[in-house]
Amino acid sequence: MPELPEVETVKRQLEKRIVGKRISSIKILSKKQFLGNFQKTIGQQIDRLWRRAKILAINVGRLTLLVHLKMTGQIIYLSKNRKPISVGHPLPFSPNQLPNKTTRVIIELEDGSRLFFNDLRKFGWIKLLDGDKIEKELSGLGPEPLEKDFSLDYFSKKLANTRRMIKIVLMDQAVVAGIGNIYASEILFEAGINPARQANSLSNREVANLYRAIKKILLQAIDYGGTSAADQAYIRPDASPGRYQNKLRVYQREGKECFGCFGKVKRIKQANRSTFFCSSCQQ
């Protein structure tokens, strides 16, 4: 789930609570998932949070913590009075039961609040990097879809250049950064384009529609605080991981009625991943 809108939500929620605070300790429970010497961060102040693609970045003095939640990562903020905010994979948790068995890293701040990095499947990671190492880490990523350098001109050239299926291209982080399996399906439905179409077969008009759909869907999803896994009705009062799952129009709606016609939503496999679409609304 943690695609661009989810990570952006994590960033916005977290920065309000942790910027300006110093790190007092880091506990690493899963060694493979933390790269770098964590001791360099002790006593350092958190200056700024930012996001690049699906990666959350936390500036700590001269260093930066990069966090990738991959499939099942989750970040939970627990203040001293135990009010949690969490975004990421919505595994149920009780603030009274943290750390839990999926907790991989615990970052403790000077005011007694804590960040829990939970990750069921252990694909996610935290990397402590400085200077050009950061640039190197992020160098393979294409433009941010909501920033200026992602222009219609750039996008059409990229699409014209490849015969790959359009859904695969949308998820290619080197073409445009931050779109994953959920939003790729949603964006293509919004644009009325069949996910199996070859990218270079799209007309100018279709490319323009797709370009608009990318921005529209991502902005909308951020507005809703991202998507909790569609098959898990996990909503917390003050730790709400997002409400966009109620807005999904095709993702995980196989066999259900299309919102655009009387047909049914279909599911196919592309590159071994599920794609959801309406074969009549998306040509």
Closest C-alpha among 70, 72, 71 to residue 56: 70
5 is catalytic: no
Total Cβ atoms within 10 A of residue 183: 27
196 binds DNA (CB under 7 A): no
- Give least dist CB 263 to DNA, A: 20
Cβ neighbours of residue 282 under 8 Å, at least 6 residues apart?
Answer: 188, 189, 192, 193, 194, 195
Residue 31 in 3-state DSSP? helix
Residue 207 in 3-state DSSP? helix
180 binds DNA (CB under 7 A): yes
Look up residue 82 and give its two tokens.
Answer: 């135990």
Which of 22, 40, 52, 70 binds DNA (CB under 7 A)? It is 70
User: Is the CB of 22 or the CB of 52 nearer to DNA?
Assistant: 52
Cβ neighbours of residue 73 under 8 Å, at least 6 residues apart?
Answer: 2, 67, 88, 89, 117, 118, 119, 123, 124
17 is catalytic: no
15 is catalytic: no
User: Is the CB of 32 or the CB of 81 nearer to DNA?
Assistant: 32
- Give least dist CB 23 to DNA, A: 26
Which residue among the candidates 5, 8, 51, 54 is catalytic per the annotation? 54
The C-alpha angle 231, 232, 237, rounded to 5 degrees, equals: 145
User: Is the CB of 12 or the CB of 273 nearer to DNA?
Assistant: 273
State how far the Cα of 134 lies from the Cα of 186, in Å rounded to an integer: 31
Which residue among the candidates 40, 70, 164, 273 is catalytic per the annotation? 273
User: Is the CB of 40 or the CB of 247 nearer to DNA?
Assistant: 247
247 binds DNA (CB under 7 A): no
Which of 29, 120, 196, 219 binds DNA (CB under 7 A)? It is 120
269 is catalytic: no
The C-alpha angle 246, 249, 255, rounded to 5 degrees, equals: 110
- Per CB under 7 A, the segment of 35-43, 56-64, 189-197, 271-279 that binds DNA is 271-279
User: Is the CB of 31 or the CB of 262 nearer to DNA?
Assistant: 31
Stretch (H or E) spanning 78: strand 73-78
Which of 39, 123, 204, 246 binds DNA (CB under 7 A)? It is 123
- The footprint of DNA (CB under 7 A) covers 1-3, 32, 53-54, 68, 70-72, 89-90, 101, 120-123, 140, 161-165, 168, 171, 173, 180-182, 227-229, 232, 271-274
